[in-house]
DNA sequence: AGCTTGACTGTGG
DNA sequence: ACCACAGCCAAGC
């Protein structure tokens, strides 16, 4: 059994759809903790396999892959590109790909 | 109990 | 745009 932050974070992470991304800080805010970005990172680090989380869809606030291990980072990039996400250098355009559960509609239609 | 580390972030130079 | 710094907070030792 986990604490409230952890269980909420897991729920929010699983909500991020195919072809979209989210950020550590954004997930933390959805959990009601503006300073919990590192906790989100740690949850992904420890529990992503256990809870079948879409870990590759979570990146940092700059739109970059945040994983230190270069091999894992490359796997993450490939997974994102496979979902249709385009990198500009090492950067993902968050304006375009960030999943905002409170502003789902009007994606690309205006 | 104290110290280090990290898949973080915002700010300021 | 790049880098250094300082908050922050849980995990591991």
- Contact (CB, 8 A) for A98 and A57: no
For residue A105, the model assigns a pLDDT of: 58
In this complex, the answer to whether residue A38 has its CB under 7 A from any atom of chain C, a nucleic strand, is yes
Q: Is A101 helix (H, G, I), strand (E, B) or coil?
A: coil
Global pTM? Answer: 0.91
Query: In A16-58, which ranges are continuous DSSP H helix?
Result: 24-30, 37-47
Q: Is residue A93's pLDDT more than 60?
A: yes
- Widest pairwise Cα distance in chain A: 44
A39 touches strand C (CB under 7 A): yes
Stated in angstroms, how far is A76 CA from C9 C1'?
26
Average pLDDT, chain A: 92
């Amino acid at each position: 059994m986990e604490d409230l932050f952890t269980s909420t974070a897991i729920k929010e992470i699983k909500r991020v759809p195919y072809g979209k991304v989210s950020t550590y800080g954004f997930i933390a805010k959805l959990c009601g903790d503006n300073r919990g970005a590192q906790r989100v990172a740690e949850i992904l680090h420890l529990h992503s396999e256990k809870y079948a989380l879409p870990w590759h869809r979570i990146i940092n606030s700059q739109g970059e892959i945040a994983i230190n291990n270069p091999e894992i980072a490359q796997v993450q990039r490939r997974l994102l590109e496979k979902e249709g996400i385009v990198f500009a250098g090492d950067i993902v355009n968050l304006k375009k790909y960030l999943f905002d559960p409170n502003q789902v509609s009007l994606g690309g239609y205006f």
